[in-house]
Amino acid sequence: MGGSLENLEWVPYNRYIPPLFKRQSRWDFLLVSLTSVLERSRMILSGELVGFSRSECFHRRLLRGTGLAASLLLAVGALAADVRGQEPAPASGKSAERLLGSVEQLSRGEQRERGAIVSAMLERQGWEVEPHSFQAGELAGTNLMVKVQDDAEQEAKDSKDRRWLVLGAHMDRVAKGRGAVDNGGGCAALMELCQRLKAEPLENVRVWAVYFDLEENGLLGSDAFARQLESKPTLYVNLDVFAYGDQVWLHSKDEADPIVEAAKKVDADHPFSFDHGVSYPPSDHLSFRKAGIEAASFSLLRPVDVEQLEGMFAGKSKERPEVLQLIHTEEDQPQKVDASKMAMGVDFVEATLRRWSELVLNAP
């Protein structure tokens, strides 16, 4: 952005996981359950497990003479007793691990090494990375682009009706701190989102993802990219300061925009609060809007941060928001990121994009 949190309590599974995620969630839950069973068996046999219930004490004595097969069966019973009546955990667990790992990798390098780190991470994920170098006055930079959904044959076949979505996050950071919140979180969220769209593509939508350079120097990377486009995308969606909190903050010019309508539909089934803001800090979405392209930006913050930022950028408050006391300082470190909430935030953005694609494709 150019300019210890409370743990989220699990909520009932069906309350917020969109239908398109439920299949993956159940497989994830099965894997987690089996892993837990095997670990409980090992701990009971080794005596590491403390605080036994009465049934587990009996299991422990019996297990020593029955071997691993019996231990597995009995541990299943113990596990079932523990989770009886509870809802399965959401699929966000593995996403959270990936997101945290990505933020930590992005935070290791020095200021001008982040582009090389992002490129290497994308290549390991199986993407073909297209570098786009640019010159802005005395400053030289390189944006990194991947084509998430871009079938040339299909593009030629149905180009008239096909929509074009560009996703983006700035990968550069300031010298102070490690840039975990601003904007390692946004880059990590974009990587996770692209992997999900690769696994389950949006119907009849061309999707590019761009990691922008020199945002902190005045949105230079996104400005260079938006100006060189030969045609206009249907929508640009930005991710900036997407790292902690339980409020999804979406900025667009008009509350009637399809992306806002889609987000409101998702909000009804998601535990996080949602806020549409007209006032928003400067970020890469402005470069696309300047080029005449519809643009929106997502952030993940605490409600108090959103309230303070909206007041400040609307000119209603002179109070410096807490999030601005974090970013661009030495405090912007990986430990400030809440990966579990990030994962749920990515759930929200993914579901919003899927709703958006349905709305725009069905629009007259």
Predicted confidence pLDDT, tens digits, the chain (364 residues): 764 333 333 233 233 334 344 334 444 444 444 444 444 454 444 444 433 333 344 344 433 444 444 444 434 444 443 433 333 344 567 999 999 999 999 999 888 999 999 999 999 999 999 999 999 999 999 999 999 998 654 554 555 568 999 999 999 999 999 999 999 999 999 999 999 999 999 999 999 999 999 999 999 999 999 999 999 999 999 999 999 999 999 999 999 999 999 999 999 989 999 999 988 999 999 999 999 999 999 999 999 999 999 999 888 888 889 999 999 999 999 999 999 999 999 999 999 999 999 999 887 6
From residue 98, give the alpha-carbon distance in Å to each of 95, 176, 256, 271: 5, 25, 34, 21
Single out the residue of 280, 166, 285, 165 nearest to residue 215, CA to CA. Answer: 285
**Which residue is it, tokens 């108090």?**
304
Residue 239 parent element (H or E)? strand 235-242
Residue 277 parent element (H or E)? strand 273-277
CATH 3.40.630.10 fits domain 92-362: yes
Rounded Cα gap, residues 102 and 170, in angstroms: 15
**What is the phi/psi pair of residue 211, to 5°?**
-105, 110
- Domain limits of the chain? 13-83, 92-362
The pTM is what? 0.75
